[in-house]
Chain A
Amino acid sequence: MSTVTEAAGSTGGTPGTAPDDGTGGAPPRPRRLLRQLRRNRLAFAGAVIAVVFIVAALAAPLIAPYDPARTDFGSALAPPGWSHWLGTDDLGRDQLSRIIHGARASMQVGVLAVALAFVVGVPLGLVAGYYGRFADSLVSRITDTLLAFPFLVLAVGLAAVLGPSLLNATIAIGVSLVPQVIRVMRAETLRLKHLDYVGAAIASGGSDGTVLARHILPNAASALLVQATVGVPTAIIGEALLSFLGLGVQPPEPSLGVMLSSAQPYIAAAPWMAVFPGLAIVAATLAFNLFGDGLRDVLDPRGVTR
């Protein structure tokens, strides 16, 4: 959640400024924003779950009941019960502890991949949309080339060349999010730069930097927010997916994807091995999606005035 706003804010330098499209939406201040968010119960629930998930990721060694790597063949494939709340896996490792530790890999990738995508994508999209011509062609070729490698294809290629690892998975996910950020930023810039108030800003002597940072970027905020909203959970799912396929986190390191993949042979005998790590992924992505939706509703004056 904080990643979303930070990622959007760091690139523009105008955090907390609401898009102003002339419909008279007053810029929500942080406190008002919080109050409005609290009123949206789903978004608030999302924020709470997201915070729990982040805390679990940060404090994993402190709160996990067991060592996630400790095997105990005596209690292998134990169903959920008092000693192991979410059961154990085929090596007798505690599922809850592995999920808590797995959240670390998820969060790490979620934050880093989206940050990578925004740091690269937003400036490129702005420049391409605003200056057009050569800059636009250049950025478009970069985008098209990146786009031509779907993230799994890219991840497969990276894994083949550099070997499978969490870092390579993060790069593959981050790079795969870049084109979407560029395209949305470019499209928004194209749409906004022809509006009268931008023309007025240019006519009154505003420098390119001022126009981009004060007039175009803030008005693209809701569109960028949609992208970031989709970005963090996409990255979390991406990490689980690559780890599931053996291209991300390597066993025995805990990851939600690795857990799902090792659950497959036991799906009929020990369904909890597949159900709980999956539920954790769903809860995390759902939480970030709900929070993002709520944030967008608050930040988007079009939604408020309707």
Chain B
Amino acid sequence: MTRYVLRRLGQSALTLVLVSIVVFVGVRAMPGDTARALAGEETTPKALEAIRQEYGLDQNIAVQYGRYVENAVTGDLGTSARTGLPVVDGIFDALPVTLELALLSLLLAVVVGIGAGVIAAVRRGRPAEWVANTVALLGLSIPNFWLGIVLILGLAIAVPVFAASGFVPFGDDPLENLRRMVLPVVVLGSGLAAVVMRQTRAAMLESLSADYVRTARSKGLAPHQVIGTHALRNSLVTVVTVLGLQLGHLISGAVVTEQIFVLPGFGKLMIDAVFTRDYAMVQGVVLFTATGYILVNLAVDLLYSVIDPRIRLGGAQ
């Protein structure tokens, strides 16, 4: 187990290096003068010179990369051309909003998705399956940004139950915070719940028709034991993989959701940065997101090996 964990850590470190190279090269592949791009609106010769100094743009590319990594590791991701504040500050201001949105949506997706998936598989051919399948299909087919617009139209404008936009920190007013988070969480979580439900159902159907489940049944185990201990546990491997893969969609979805509900999170930071040509911010946010993604993925893979020992043992050979 230790060996597997170490191996996995090494892999993540390698991926991190690859990601940093991609981001580094990406920003330097931009047409035109990198310093000019990083400076944004402010383009006095003096400012450009300061940027060249800061990023070492007058030196060779390897030195530049070295300095870039050194800065990034010490928490210096440059200065936002738009606000003049450090990029890191912008990121940490936006992070709690996005984390709350993402975690609540994930919770919604897992509870609803796995529950509905198991019910749909166990009640195959009955109305419950039909309902679960239909709702999941709608969840998959309705784009979250449109769902957001429709929910605002229905539940914020026509019948003003929830707020259409704005964010209140949880610390200031927990109830108001949650009230404002309901619509964004439904928008972000519903698509994910649909994916989780479909994968759970598919995996459960496969498990339920497997020999070991028949054996468990013929041993006389209670249905909930067969379903919970045998079928669901084996199905979870697929579900966790898919959930891990969906984290990217969760991040992407958060970007849009924040844009629609005007939440001051990570996604809004990123989109605003692109349209104000704040390249230092784009670079910082992309690198930060990618790093976060790698770490979460590492956690998912370790979880994966706990659920299915075959993976751990196979990986340690």
* Chain B residues within 8 Å of chain A by Cβ, number: 60
Name the CB-closest residue of A to B124: A306
Seed contacts A281-B143, A282-B142, A290-B137; 15 additional CB < 8 Å A-B pairs: A147-B248, A149-B286, A149-B289, A149-B290, A152-B251, A152-B255, A153-B285, A157-B26, A159-B274, A161-B30, A226-B198, A281-B146, A282-B146, A289-B140, A293-B133
Q: How far is the CA of A200 from the CA of B138 in the complex (A)?
A: 44
- Name the B residues within 8 Å of A246 (CB-CB): 275
A78 within 8 Å of B by Cβ? no
Q: How far is the CA of A39 from the CA of B114 in the complex (A)?
A: 29
Q: Among A84-92, A212-220, A236-244, which stretch is in contact with chain B?
A: A236-244
Contact with A along B203-234 (1 / 0, CB 8 A): 00110010000000000000000000000000
Cβ distance B143 to chain A, nearest Cβ, rounded Å: 5
A-B pairs with the 7 shortest C-beta distances?
A: A150-B248, A152-B252, A278-B146, A286-B141, A285-B141, A148-B290, A144-B15
Residues 163-197 of B contacting A (Cβ, < 8 Å): 195
Count of inter-chain pairs, beta carbons less than 8 A = 156
Are A271 and B153 in touch, CB under 8 angstroms? yes
Are B157 and A151 in touch, CB under 8 angstroms? no
22 contacts between A and B (CB under 8 A): A141-B18, A144-B11, A148-B291, A149-B19, A149-B286, A151-B248, A151-B249, A156-B270, A161-B27, A179-B245, A183-B245, A187-B238, A190-B314, A226-B202, A230-B195, A233-B140, A240-B143, A264-B149, A267-B153, A274-B150, A289-B140, A303-B205
Identify which of B12, B137, B256 contacts A241 (C-beta below 8 A): B256
Are B146 and A306 in touch, CB under 8 angstroms? no
Are B270 and A153 in touch, CB under 8 angstroms? yes
Are B153 and A145 in touch, CB under 8 angstroms? no
Q: How far is the CA of A253 from the CA of B133 in the complex (A)?
A: 36
Are A289 and B141 in touch, CB under 8 angstroms? yes
Contact with B along A168-194 (1 / 0, CB 8 A): 000000001001100100010010000
Name the CB-closest residue of A to B27: A161
B64 within 8 Å of A by Cβ? no
Question: Which one of B141, B241, B247, B271 has the highest number of Cβ atoms from chain A below 10 Å of its Cβ?
Answer: B141
Q: How far is the CA of A233 from the CA of B195 in the complex (A)?
A: 13
A96 within 8 Å of B by Cβ? no
A160 within 8 Å of B by Cβ? yes
Are B138 and A153 in touch, CB under 8 angstroms? no
Are B256 and A145 in touch, CB under 8 angstroms? no
